[in-house]
Amino acid sequence: MALSLFLAALVRQFATGADRGAQWQALRCLPGRVRAGLAFLLLSSAAIIAMEFVAAGDQRLQDAEARQGRYVAYDTSVPTDRAVELTRDEYLALLPSSRRMMYVIPGLLSATAAALVLAAGELRRADAAHAARSR
């Protein structure tokens, strides 16, 4: 869902036909609180992704899941990426890190889509104001 929203926002932004400088200027014309909120969402998502990649380097077990009453995770220390069975306690300890990226990446795509749509709307508003003055 977040990917389709991001792609639709990207198409909308490209449909404006504005160059990068105009798009950046349109984003800068947004109210300060909106820009601050978008910046917070984008930076916090990027920071979580970066921390997750750093932490994943030390962690050999990833993507914990429950299958047919058993708990398994993928062992990345083995070249074949084979699944290993876990105890319930190991599964519960590994579960939050397995799900973190599942929420962060759609959040990052949604925040980026919001920024693109708001900038495209600002460009449209500026074009309408320019057309009204030209009459």
Average pLDDT over residues 125-130: 84
Q: What is the mean pLDDT of the chain?
A: 84
pTM: 0.70
Q: What is the pLDDT of residues 45-102, one digit of tens each?
A: 889 888 877 776 556 777 777 888 888 887 777 777 688 888 888 888 877 777 777 7
- Specify the range with the lowest mean pLDDT, choosing from 19-23, 112-116, 117-121: 19-23
Of the candidates 48, 58, 52, the residue with the CA atom closest to the CA atom of residue 107: 48
Residue of 89, 87, 95 whose CA lies nearest to 71:
87
